[in-house]
Amino acid sequence: MLGHVNATDGGKGVFADLRSLSSGDRMSVVREDGTTAVFEFQRGEAYQKDEFPTLTVYGNTPGSELRLITCDGYNPETGAFDDNYVVYATLVV
């Protein structure tokens, strides 16, 4: 899932607090059929956009996993985000 750290009105985006997640934190995703999948935070990693590990983030996994991806590394000189932050989580329920 992709989301912004900031909103168009200058406020916080949906993924503004990803860096505050820690080991054991859980997140829920409501599926199309109305059931809820629960994932547990494993780790978060920052990557430079020009060195983004596409296969690691989007590749196949042995089980059900979730990736939350947002921009990171705000550069005030350019007004751009130079990096991405990725949360890795595994299905628990």
Q: Is the dihedral of CA 61, 67, 70, 72 positive or negative?
A: negative
Other CB atoms within a 10 A radius of the CB of residue 39 amount to: 22
Handedness of CA 82, 87, 14, 24 (dihedral sign): negative
For position 60, what pLDDT does the model report? 96
pLDDT in tens, 4-36: 888 878 789 999 999 999 999 999 999 999 999
DSSP, collapsed to helix, strand or coil, labels residue 23 as coil
Which H or E run contains 13?
A: none
Domain-wise residue ranges, the chain? 18-91
